[in-house]
Amino acid sequence: MTTCVVRAARVRDAGGWATRDLVVRDGVLADVTPAGQAADADDGHEVDAAGWWAAPVLTDAHCHLLPGHLLRLPLYGVGFAMDLFSAPGARAGLDREAASGGARYATAGVGAAVRGGHPYQLVAAGLYPDFPSVAESGGPEAFVRALVASGGTVLKVFLDDGRLAGTSLPTFTPREVAELVAAAHAHDCRVVVHAPSADLACVALGAGADGLAHAPVPESDDQAEELVEVALRHGAFLVSTLVATASALGLPQSGSLAGSPVWERVPAGWRAHLRRSGRAAPDRAAFDRLLGLVARAHERGVPVLPGTDAAFPGVVPGASLHVELELLHRCGVEAHALLDLATAGLRERLGLGGGRLVRGARAEVALLDEDPAETVHAWGRLRALVLGTATLRF
């Protein structure tokens, strides 16, 4: 039996922060005791966390996992990733990385799409192998059954008519989206929809989707208000992806990364990737409208979950989640709210489990030398990470 004891960490409970010992046995948080009461670790494996804050690891609510990503995410305090489109056959490699000290993940597989629509242009460009559309799979019920049988836990639906990219693409009708949602819910599978415009986002939520893979850029305040109203009416959430959308609008974001300890762990190649953007002429007005939508959604009570869309141009897996938190804070999301949204927020809403420091849960502990309920920059002050049976020190 492998035992690790985290000594004298500040752990948050209903009454605030209290100094506690955390006992980890075989990768599970076996006990949380008052400081000094935990027995010595069987193998002497202890972490002196006096003066540090213990928080659940970060969750990135929107990733596209490629080889090596799960192994790098813990370097930035990210212990869980929601994969919202990956290459067919990627699961075996991802499972090996997760079992080798990498972050855990859940996946939507390839997602539900219409042949010739988004994201089949990525197949045509040679970036991904081909995959079957919903129609080629036998319809919504057959597609969802295959997803669940392959280990998928979330259905991602691509509802994209190509309008924002200046083209026209085939996509699902509102009725077809509703059929996909019904099939997924019948299998206890949540539904997240890629809908790049506010009107399509309203269609998706009206069809019963649980959330949006991106916060879309609204064309007006009225459109933003309508989307927030629809989200509230249906109890839906938004995944932010502000870093990715900013890059697509010609405004790559690095926040305060360059001045933080996180920057030291970003390799040179990824630093160059961080400066990439999707257009030459920045569209600041569109980005301001997006920030306004997110601020309005949070203020009105719509859960806005931090996600990056890594590794979109300008988005570094793991590191850019810190920038995402800064942008959300700029939208008025308080640090104490982000502490919950960025850890347990997505996992609880999708029924995935984890994201809390409670007995019996998998050990997923970030140790920080600032209070994450007071400042979003605390996440960049990562001192150690306990992830299952692995411990990283920084």
Q: Tens digits of per-residue pLDDT, 159-198?
A: 999 998 889 999 999 999 999 999 999 999 999 999 999 9
* Residue 146, burial from CB neighbour count under 10 angstroms (0-12, 13-18, 19+): middle
**Rounded average pLDDT over 328-334:** 97
233-270 tens-digit pLDDT: 999 999 999 999 999 999 999 878 888 888 889 999 99
267-296 tens-digit pLDDT: 999 998 988 877 778 999 999 999 999 999
- Radius of gyration of the chain from its Cα atoms, rounded to whole angstroms: 21
C-alpha span between 197 and 119 (Å, rounded): 16
Instruction: Examine residue 300 and state whether it is found in any structural domain, yes or no.
Output: yes
Instruction: Examine residue 363 and state whether it is found in any structural domain, yes or no.
Output: no
Instruction: Examine residue 221 and state whether it is found in any structural domain, yes or no.
Output: yes
CB atoms within 10 A of CB 360: 8
Q: 109 — phi, psi (to 5°)? A: 65, -140
Instruction: Examine residue 31 and state whether it is found in any structural domain, yes or no.
Output: no
Q: How many domains would you assign to the chain?
A: 1
Instruction: Examine residue 11 and state whether it is found in any structural domain, yes or no.
Output: no
Following CA atoms 313, 314, 320, 324 in sequence, which dihedral angle do they give, to the nearest 10 degrees? -100
C-alpha span between 354 and 371 (Å, rounded): 21
pLDDT > 90? residue 59: yes
Instruction: Examine residue 5 and state whether it is found in any structural domain, yes or no.
Output: no
Could you tell me the CATH number of the domain that includes residue 201? 3.20.20.140
Instruction: Examine residue 16 and state whether it is found in any structural domain, yes or no.
Output: no
C-alpha span between 201 and 95 (Å, rounded): 32
C-alpha span between 253 and 260 (Å, rounded): 15
Instruction: Examine residue 132 and state whether it is found in any structural domain, yes or no.
Output: yes
Q: Could you tell me the residue range of the domain that residue 194 belongs to?
A: 57-352
Q: Which amino acid is present at 312?
A: F
